[in-house]
Amino acid sequence: MSNRLFLRGIVCSVLAIVVLCTNAQTKKKPVAKKPTTTTKKNQVGGAKKQTTSPASRTTRGTKNPFGEPSNTSAVDPFGASASRGTNEKPDTARKPKLTGKDAPLVIVKTASGNPLTDSNKVSLRNDNAVEANLIKDRAPLPYDYIREDDAVFKQRIWRIIDAREKMNLPFKNTMETDNGSQLFFAILFKSAADGGVVAFEDERFTTPFTKEKFKERFSGGTDTVPVYGDLNNPELITSREVRTREFPVDSVYRFQIKEEVLFDKETSRLVTRILGVAPMGPQILPNGKVLEGPPITYFWIYYPDIRATLAKFEVYNPKNYGSRMSWEDLFEGRFYSSYILKSTMDNPHNQSLADKYTKNKLFMLLEGEAIKEKIFNYEQDLWAY
């Protein structure tokens, strides 16, 4: 009896397995839904047919647990996309440039100051015991007209004024007034840099300097130094410092004067007219280095053009500070000491005395005194006593 029951159980199990396999093979595949067609009324009045495909709404592959469809291709968890965290936002902040072009400029003044480029500071109070306003109204006296036929005698002379001599110490006066620095070289420089007069490269006044070239060459120039002030980013330029190179103002203590001495027969007197003024100093390289050697001429200024400016600047008088004269009075009155560098007298080769007497400078000075004596004797010989 038990054997029959056992066999019946085995037969029932086999039949159940066969039925399950048959149902799995005969199971139908799901039919894809056909696209639905909707009709939407056009604004013009006609009917517009729109077709919406279910395939456009769903994507093949596994659905993302957050609700968005995922791509069928597997995502590498160790790939490029996994380098950034899921909660990390992309870095969209603009990084600062490391070139320094956008860094602000900071002007750094020198400790000693530069009388050529420093701005003039005007006193806000009357810095005098009396009202000193006469200097503002000063104007040079016009020259007397001399006809060419009346100039029966004429010689051209080049002189050197050395400010190291005791009589020429006012040329090195560095006092500051409402007009600015009283240094004579600073007066010449600012007159040409501000556009009041024209500076020339040669003594014949044929080639003028441009303002940019003149300031860059004779004011020392400027250097722009980058400043790295960010500790977190050592390569970042936070600012740029503009530093003025020191110009050797103290080395400019010689001034060359070009003048003409003529005798006017109409007035029967010897007249001296200054034609040009030029500062002299050592040769300076563009980087500010001073070279050793003989002084050179920096620039020439036509003296009649700068007379009106020199009349506004007073000359320091160490004996009486209240009795001062202008620079124009000093040059017209010949209140300075000088020696002759070159002249047109007995000089057909246009040779300077320094080139003529290279081995003995004493002979150069003696020859210069001989030229002065010849001009003096010419004037005295015209008169009968």
Percent of the residues in the chain that have a pLDDT greater than 70, as a whole number: 72
Q: Are strands 239-244 and 339-343 parallel, antiparallel or unpaired?
A: unpaired
Instruction: Tell me the average pLDDT across 183-210.
Output: 92
Name the residue type at position 281.
G
What was the pLDDT predicted at 25? 61
Q: Are strands 105-108 and 239-244 parallel, antiparallel or unpaired?
A: parallel
Q: What is the pLDDT of residues 76-112, one digit of tens each?
A: 544 544 444 445 555 555 555 545 566 776 666 655 5
Does the pLDDT at position 376 exceed 80? yes
Instruction: Tell me the average pLDDT across 58-70.
Output: 48
Q: Are strands 254-264 and 269-281 parallel, antiparallel or unpaired?
A: antiparallel
| Mean pLDDT for the chain overall | 78
Domain boundaries, the chain: 145-214+251-337, 345-385
217-230 burial code (b ≥16 CB/10 A, e <16): bbbbbeeeeeeeee
Taking the C-alpha atoms of residue 69 and residue 242, their distance in angstroms, rounded to an integer, is 61
| Contact by Cβ (8 Å): 108, 96 | no
**Is 19 in a helix, a strand, or coil?**
helix
Q: Would you give the distance in Å from CA 16 to the centre of its chain?
A: 101
| Contact by Cβ (8 Å): 104, 226 | no
Instruction: Give the tokens for residue 148.
Output: 């060419």
Does the pLDDT at position 307 exceed 90? yes
Q: Are strands 36-41 and 47-52 parallel, antiparallel or unpaired?
A: antiparallel
Taking the C-alpha atoms of residue 50 and residue 278, their distance in angstroms, rounded to an integer, is 93
DSSP states along 20-43: HHHHHHSPPPPPPPPPEEEEEE-S
What was the pLDDT predicted at 375? 94
Comparing 169 with 233, the larger pLDDT belongs to: 169
Question: pTM to 2 decimals?
Answer: 0.66
| Contact by Cβ (8 Å): 53, 35 | yes
What was the pLDDT predicted at 105? 67
Q: What is the pLDDT of residues 202-247, one digit of tens each?
A: 999 999 998 888 887 887 666 777 778 777 877 777 777 777 777 7
What was the pLDDT predicted at 58? 44
| Contact by Cβ (8 Å): 291, 281 | no
E strands within the chain?
A: 36-41, 47-52, 105-108, 151-162, 176-177, 180-181, 199-200, 222-227, 239-244, 254-264, 269-281, 296-297, 300-302, 339-343
Taking the C-alpha atoms of residue 253 and residue 161, their distance in angstroms, rounded to an integer, is 8
Comparing 136 with 95, the larger pLDDT belongs to: 136
Element (H, E) at 154: strand 151-162
φ and ψ at 219, to 5 degrees? -105, 5
Comparing 80 with 2, the larger pLDDT belongs to: 2
Handedness of CA 274, 278, 281, 283 (dihedral sign): negative
Instruction: Give the tokens for residue 189.
Output: 């420089």
Left if phi > 0, otherwise alpha if psi is -120 to 50, otherwise beta: which for 238?
Answer: alpha
Q: What is the pLDDT of residues 242-266, one digit of tens each?
A: 777 777 788 899 999 999 999 999 9
Dihedral through CA 57, CA 59, CA 63, CA 68, nearest 10?
-50
Question: Whose structure tokens read 């070289």?
Answer: 185
Does the pLDDT at position 54 exceed 50? no
Identify which of 44-58, 165-179, 325-339 has the greatest average pLDDT.
325-339
